[in-house]
């Protein structure tokens, strides 16, 4: 029993374009893990409650303008400032289910003109590496059916298409444990898939130290 409690939790990330159902699925996954007596907590990026997060929030709500490189580095800093807490939780055996991570950081900034994937990845190199990254994929007709984008920055179909392409580039990297989930299906079917992949990742993570992203 003692050995069990020493085993680390898994770092599980959900990614996808807007309207893919990431937040819904993160919440359902946490609930399912807790019902299975598996300690689990949710995190999200951007984490809007910190000082850096408030700068990001104001930018996303279009209440302020920030230079594109600057905001990219703030998003990255907003992840790094959570790293001590993330490590602490993982070491306590808590599985973290994270709504967006460095992949969103790279996909969104590199969808802007003049940014390479490489430049965008650099500030996030060495972050705790997810044990599993699930990309919630929604086909364009289903995305259209799900209705309107909000009014925050980046919430236009032209930009979201560019973001999707950048995610597809990132998914070619086999050093990351990517799983593409068909999120066009109903909530319960999508959840069942996500839960199965997560349980497998938790089992594997128990026997391995936490890795370093893109390093």
Residues 19-38 that bind ligand 2DT (CB under 6 A): none
Which of 84, 85, 81, 130 is closest to 104 using CA atoms?
130
User: Rounded to the nearest whole angstrom, what is the least distance from the CB of residue 6 to ligand 2DT in the complex?
Assistant: 31
52: region left, alpha or beta (phi > 0 left; psi from -120 to 50 alpha): alpha
* SS3 state at 38: coil
User: Rounded to the nearest whole angstrom, what is the least distance from the CB of residue 107 to ligand 2DT in the complex?
Assistant: 8
Segment contacting ligand 2DT by CB under 6 A, of 85-93, 101-109, 169-177, 203-211: 101-109
Q: Which is nearer to ligand 2DT, 59 or 202 (CB)?
A: 59
Among 17, 45, 89, 181, binds ligand 2DT (CB under 6 A): 45
For position 104 contacting ligand 2DT by CB under 6 A, the verdict is yes
For position 94 contacting ligand 2DT by CB under 6 A, the verdict is no
Which of 192, 201, 208 is closest to 96 using CA atoms?
201
Which of 110, 113, 171, 106 is closest to 137 using CA atoms?
171
User: Rounded to the nearest whole angstrom, what is the least distance from the CB of residue 84 to ligand 2DT in the complex?
Assistant: 18
C-alpha triplet 83, 50, 133: angle, nearest 5°: 45
Residues 136-195 that bind ligand 2DT (CB under 6 A): 154
User: Rounded to the nearest whole angstrom, what is the least distance from the CB of residue 89 to ligand 2DT in the complex?
Assistant: 19
Whole-angstrom Cα distance, residue 215 to residue 203? Answer: 23
For position 119 contacting ligand 2DT by CB under 6 A, the verdict is no
User: Rounded to the nearest whole angstrom, what is the least distance from the CB of residue 113 to ligand 2DT in the complex?
Assistant: 15
Residues 51-70 that bind ligand 2DT (CB under 6 A): 60
| Pair 29, 115: CB distance under 8 Å | no
Q: Which is nearer to ligand 2DT, 159 or 200 (CB)?
A: 159
82-116 residues labelled b (16+ CB within 10 A) or e (exposed):
beeebeebbeebbbbbbbbbbbbbbbbbbbbeebe
- Residue written as token pair 């990431």: 22
Binding site for ligand 2DT (CB under 6 A): 45-46, 60, 75, 100, 104-105, 108, 154
């Amino acid at each position: 029993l003692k050995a069990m409690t020493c085993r680390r939790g898994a770092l599980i990330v959900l990614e996808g374009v807007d309207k893919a159902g990431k937040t819904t699925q993160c919440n359902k996954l946490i609930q399912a893990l807790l019902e299975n007596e598996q300690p689990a907590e949710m995190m999200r990026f951007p984490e809007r409650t910190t000082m850096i997060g408030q700068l990001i929030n104001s930018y996303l709500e279009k209440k302020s303008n920030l230079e594109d490189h600057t905001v990219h580095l703030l998003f990255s800093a907003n992840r790094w400032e959570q790293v001590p807490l993330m490590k602490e939780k993982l070491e306590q055996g808590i599985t973290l289910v994270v709504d967006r991570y460095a992949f969103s950081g790279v996909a969104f900034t590199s969808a802007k003109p003049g940014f390479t994937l490489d430049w965008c990845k650099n500030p996030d190199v060495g972050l705790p590496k997810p044990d599993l990254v699930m990309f919630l994929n929604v086909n364009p007709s289903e995305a259209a059916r799900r209705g309107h984008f909000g009014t925050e920055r980046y919430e236009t179909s032209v930009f979201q298409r560019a973001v999707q392409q950048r995610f597809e580039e990132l998914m070619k990297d086999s050093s990351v444990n990517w799983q593409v989930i068909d999120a066009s299906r109903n909530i319960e079917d999508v959840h069942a898939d996500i839960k199965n992949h997560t349980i497998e990742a938790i089992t594997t993570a128990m026997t391995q130290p936490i890795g370093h992203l893109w390093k």
